[in-house]
Chain A
Amino acid sequence: MMRSDFRARNHPAWWAFLVHRLSGLALAVFLPLHFLVLGQALAGEAALDGLLAWTQRPLVKAAEWGLVVLLAAHLAGGLRLLALEFLPWRDWQKSLLAAAAGATIAIGLALALAL
C-alpha cells in the first residue's frame, strides 16, 4: 500500500479531520482534570476558590480560552460530520467546512470578550 504524502493530505477536509481529532484528544485529556477541579467543591467552597484563583494567571487563562475554542471547534466539526453522514447530500454541504470554521471563530471571539 502506498502511503499518502503531504500533497494528498493538504486539502480542507483533511485539515478538518486533523483539527477534529486533535481537539478531541485534547478535550479527552482535559476532561478528567476538569472533573477533579470541580470535585474540590467536596472539600468546601474555599478549596474550590483556591484552584479558581490559580486559573486567573494569564497563561492559565490563555490555555482555558484555547480549550474552549477547541470545544467549539470539536462541536462545529462534529455537527458537520453528523450532517455529512445523516442528511441526504446537497450542494450546500460543501459549505459546512466554512460554516464550522466560522462558528468556531465566533465562539472564540465571544469568549475573548468575556474574559
Chain B
Amino acid sequence: MSARGETRLWIAQRASAAVLALCVVVHLVVIIYAMRGGLSAAEILGRTRGNVSWAAFYTVFVLAAAVHAPIGLRTIAMEWLGWRGRSLSIAVHLAVVALAVLGFRAVWAVFA
C-alpha cells in the first residue's frame, strides 16, 4: 500500500482507538455491574429494549470496533504472516463489513 494509504490507516486506527477508549470504559462498568448475580436475558433486554440511548451508544461502539479490529489484524497478518498485497486488502475490507453487519444485527436484536 502507498505511504498515504498507510498514513490514513494509522489515523483511522488512532481515531477509532480514542472512540473505543470511551466506549470500553462504559462497557467495563456495565459488565461488572451486570455480571453481579449472573447474566439473564431479561436483565439485558430490560436495559436495552426500546432504549435509543443504548442503541446509539452500541452503534457507535460497533462502528469503531469494525474499523479498529481489522486494521489491527492487518498489521499482525503483515508482520507475523508476511501476508501483503491485494488479497490482504480484500480480506481486511471483508472483515470490516462482516463485523459491522454482525454488530448492527446484535444491536438491533437487543433493541427491537
B72 near A24 (CB under 8 angstroms)? yes
Asked whether B14 is an interface residue with its Cβ less than 8 Å from the other chain, the reply is yes
Residue ID in chain B nearest A67 by CB atoms: B31
B21 near A79 (CB under 8 angstroms)? yes
Residue ID in chain B nearest A48 by CB atoms: B41
Which residues from chain A contact B24 at a C-beta distance below 8 Å? 71, 75
Asked whether A93 is an interface residue with its Cβ less than 8 Å from the other chain, the reply is no
A30-56 with Cβ < 8 A to chain B: 31-32, 34-36, 38-42, 45-46, 48-49, 52, 55-56
Number of interface residues of A (CB under 8 A): 37
Which residues from chain B contact A28 at a C-beta distance below 8 Å? 69-70, 72-73
B40's contact among A49, A68, A78, A81, by CB below 8 Å, is which?
Answer: A49
Contact pattern, A 66-88, Cβ under 8 Å of B = 1, otherwise 0: 00100110010011011001100
A71 near B40 (CB under 8 angstroms)? no
Which residues from chain A contact B102 at a C-beta distance below 8 Å? 32, 35-36, 39
B1-51 with Cβ < 8 A to chain A: 14, 17-18, 20-21, 24-25, 27-28, 31-33, 35-36, 38-42, 44-45
Contact pattern, B 89-112, Cβ under 8 Å of A = 1, otherwise 0: 000000000110011011011101
Cβ distance A79 to chain B, nearest Cβ, rounded Å: 6
A55 near B39 (CB under 8 angstroms)? yes
Asked whether A110 is an interface residue with its Cβ less than 8 Å from the other chain, the reply is yes
A85's contact among B14, B38, B99, B105, by CB below 8 Å, is which?
Answer: B14
Interface residues of B: mostly helix, strand, loop or mixed? helix
Asked whether B76 is an interface residue with its Cβ less than 8 Å from the other chain, the reply is yes
- Residues of B in contact with A (beta carbons under 8 Å apart): 14, 17-18, 20-21, 24-25, 27-28, 31-33, 35-36, 38-42, 44-45, 65, 69-70, 72-73, 76, 98-99, 102-103, 105-106, 108-110, 112
Task: Show 21 residue pairs from A and B whose CB-CB distance is below 8 angstroms, ordered by the A residue.
Answer: A24-B69, A28-B70, A31-B65, A34-B106, A35-B102, A35-B103, A39-B106, A39-B109, A40-B109, A41-B44, A41-B110, A52-B38, A52-B40, A52-B41, A55-B39, A56-B38, A82-B17, A107-B28, A111-B31, A114-B32, A115-B35
